[in-house]
Structure 1
Amino acid sequence: MSTLEIRDITKDFGTVRTLQGIDLTLRDGEFLVLLGASGCGKSTLLSMISGLSEPTTGEVVLDGRVLNGVHPKDRDIAMVFQSYALYPNLDVARNIGFGLEMRGAPKAQRDAAVAEAAKVLRIEHLLDRRPGDLSGGQRQRVAIGRALVRKPKLFLFDEPLSNLDARLRLEMRSELKRLHQQLGVTMVYVTHDQIEAMTLATRIAVMQGGRIEQLGTPEEIYERPASRFVAEFMGAPPMNMIEAAPVPGGLSVAGALLRCSATEPVVVGIRPEALKTEEMPGALTLRGTVDLVELTGPERIVSFNLGPKRITVTLPAERRVELGEALDLHVDPARISAFDPQGGLRGPLKVLAR
């Protein structure tokens, strides 16, 4: 069993505090993704776990053992970096087994471990090649294999797919998902890509300003974002945000009425895919004018003008619309989120019967 605890971790660089007190517990076999924009503190937190740097305050605990002050090589943790960091003069087999070789493992043990990792990663045919003869995706598999042979308690990944093109990134994402499902190992993965986070994670920690803004499953974070920041960060296109003011009978939302119990102004959030051109019983209806249409293949991303406000809607590719066309857009009130205009935190929005 490999459980990781982060207890009130802070990190200061001079007078600047980059981690503001991080608390989380990672259960055995979980795939946790640390997600956020550059500078949010996700890679700094990963370096605390790996031992590449030490926290200013707080503790990193793996299976009940406090790791503060423990050298990285003694933490029983393996890390895969954005750069592959392979030895160009060694073949794939020796690159994968090099860590075991340095630890004095017998050759028979090394060979067996390398063969097992190569089979799992489906790179048996590459063992005699050198890194210069490999594609980017193959090199990343070798780097992962080097971590696998150690059989660590915890795997750390620091944006491992960032150097790959779009097709290889998709391929390697599937490989990592398969690997986690097959081995059931505990992983912590850093990325700025919310699609990677949604597809890989069992839980996601969305970070901003050195804090965890929200921790939850991909479904929880996407469907019930805890703040406006999370709502707009997750999803492509991002959630539409519309200011709403209380009026008799409910909230005025871009010229339409949402019957609810709100008594204060709120920001209403609506996912682009929640807006439909087909009528629905009890739906909130907004009338917009088509301003821009983008065909992605499986869907059309359509921008609508709602007076001075612009919103985005995703429609099926077969649903054709014309520039300047006026359309009614319908949304189930259950798919609407509400956020405090000042703090940006998610707030209650009790929709009344229509």
Structure 2
Amino acid sequence: MSTLDIRNITKSFGATQTLKGIDLTLEQGEFLVLLGSSGCGKSTLLSMVSGLSEPTSGEVVLNGRSLNGVHPKNRDIAMVFQSYALYPNLSVGRNIGFGLEMRGVARADREAAIAEAAQILRIDHLLDRKPGDLSGGQRQRVAIGRALVRKPQLFLFDEPLSNLDAKLRMEMRSELKRLHQMLGVTVVYVTHDQIEAMTLATRIAVMRDGRIEQLGTPEEIYNRPATRFVAEFMGAPPMNMLPAEPVAGGLRIEGTDTVLPCAARAPALIGVRPETFRLAPVAGGLTVQGTVDLIELTGPEKIVSVALGARHVTMTVPADTAIAIGDPVTLHADPARLSVFDAADETRLAMPGDPAP
């Protein structure tokens, strides 16, 4: 039996429809990330699952039990919010065990659960401190510990790392990954950060305008995006899009003599990830010529902008690559690593080597 079933969920606020028919199934132990930009409906969907809001139509089912109309405290779900929501006057230990205390759990059982959670989260040396004495990462661990001690059927995370600086976000991503692998809990996690999604998820649901644009593993989402929106949303720098017209034998990239073997019979967009471009020839590969017009050093790599006439593409190269602004370059790409989208509806077109649907 699946842990969580979301069945044709819709949500309207007056005449505005925020969710437009969401269907999802989560198996035990999955880590599902709801990913999308602000206003796409991801947090609204999480609130439907938590019980903080009721759907306009549809059903949320947890382990075979419908949650429609069930009060949040009776759903056996724990939620970690973007803000830590800790009690400043209580110690770390009291904060972690507060929910158990309110449920009348015996003190000895509470203390055992608090100690276990604190040890897992590596904050057992902080139990007597107050939240004001902790760093942001430590406070977030306390918030996670408060959810952990309840041993719920489902964990919900609503952008829990967005208040942390870059270094702490990276550390907490690792902690969350470790916890999931150790405990095997079922998680629904909301974020707008594609790096969080790629590193944490077993599956990602990319959301757009109240719908799921694509659902799949991180590898599927990144390597075989179903639409242009997903292709450009996932990845930094985003995927390059090269307009192409159908000719005998395939698609000819606009402004070049390069033809990509493809069965497309209508105008298309050829998607190339920046890291797919190479300066060295690729056997049977895509080839375009241009001029370097911008270079940005990020540390481990250089982000290079190349002008192809009036159009620009972006490529990434190792930081020690000898390249300068104004250099003429020939870019090569392996056709097996390209994506092709219909120019009209922007959906992915089948390419040789794509897995069977």
Task: Please say whether Structure 1 and Structure 2 have the same fold, judged by a TM-score greater than 0.5.
Answer: yes
| Aligned equivalent of 1:228 | 228
| Aligned equivalent of 1:132 | 132
Q: CA deviation at 1:350?
A: 4.5
Query: Aligned to 1:274, what secondary structure does the other structure show?
Result: coil
| Aligned equivalent of 2:33 | 33
Q: Which moved more, 1:279-288 or 1:34-43?
A: 279-288
| Aligned equivalent of 2:292 | 290
> Distance in 2 between the 1:151 and 1:336 partners?
44
Does the alignment pair 1:147 with 2:129?
no
> Distance in 2 between the 1:226 and 1:261 partners?
17
| Aligned equivalent of 1:46 | 46
The alpha-carbon distance between structure 1 residues 59 and 79, as it changes in their structure 2 partners (threshold 3 A), is same
> Distance in 2 between the 1:185 and 1:2 partners?
13
Which amino acid letter does the alignment assign opposite residue 304 of structure 1?
Answer: V
Q: CA deviation at 1:127?
A: 0.3
Q: Deviations over 1:192-239 (max 9, x none)?
A: 000000000000000000000000000000000000000000001110
Which amino acid letter does the alignment assign opposite residue 216 of structure 1?
Answer: G
> Distance in 2 between the 1:4 and 1:259 partners?
43
Please show how residues 1-354 of structure 1 align to structure 2 within 5 Å: 3-254=3-254, 255=256, 256-350=258-352
Query: Aligned to 1:85, what secondary structure does the other structure show?
Result: coil
> Distance in 2 between the 1:198 and 1:319 partners?
27
Which amino acid letter does the alignment assign opposite residue 197 of structure 1?
Answer: A
Q: Normalising by the residue count of structure 1, what TM-score does the alignment of the two structures yield?
A: 0.97
Say whether the 8 Å CA contact 2:336–2:352 is kept in structure 1: no
**Could you list the runs of 5+ residues in structure 2 that have no partner in the other structure?**
none
Q: CA deviation at 1:260?
A: 2.9
Which amino acid letter does the alignment assign opposite residue 301 of structure 1?
Answer: I
Q: Normalising by the residue count of structure 2, what TM-score does the alignment of the two structures yield?
A: 0.97
> Distance in 2 between the 1:326 and 1:61 partners?
59
Moved over 3 A (4+): none
The alpha-carbon distance between structure 1 residues 155 and 2, as it changes in their structure 2 partners (threshold 3 A), is farther
Q: Deviations over 1:40-86 (max 9, x none)?
A: 00000000000000000000000000000000000000000000000
Say whether the 8 Å CA contact 1:293–1:302 is kept in structure 2: yes
Aligned length: 351
> Distance in 1 between the 2:300 and 2:211 partners?
36
Say whether the 8 Å CA contact 2:204–2:217 is kept in structure 1: yes
Query: Aligned to 1:273, what secondary structure does the other structure show?
Result: coil
Say whether the 8 Å CA contact 1:18–1:210 is kept in structure 2: yes
> Distance in 1 between the 2:37 and 2:247 partners?
37
Say whether the 8 Å CA contact 2:264–2:349 is kept in structure 1: no
Say whether the 8 Å CA contact 1:2–1:153 is kept in structure 2: no
Q: CA deviation at 1:251?
A: 1.7
Q: Deviations over 1:244-275 (max 9, x none)?
A: 01223322114022233322110110111111
Say whether the 8 Å CA contact 2:340–2:351 is kept in structure 1: yes
Say whether the 8 Å CA contact 1:261–1:350 is kept in structure 2: no
> Distance in 1 between the 2:301 and 2:285 partners?
22
Say whether the 8 Å CA contact 1:80–1:160 is kept in structure 2: yes
> Distance in 2 between the 1:307 and 1:324 partners?
13
Q: CA deviation at 1:334?
A: 0.9
**Could you list the runs of 5+ residues in structure 1 that have no partner in the other structure?**
none
Q: CA deviation at 1:2?
A: 6.5
> Distance in 1 between the 2:334 and 2:251 partners?
15
Which amino acid letter does the alignment assign opposite residue 219 of structure 1?
Answer: E
> Distance in 2 between the 1:314 and 1:29 partners?
36
Q: Tell me how large the CA RMSD over aligned residues is.
A: 1.1
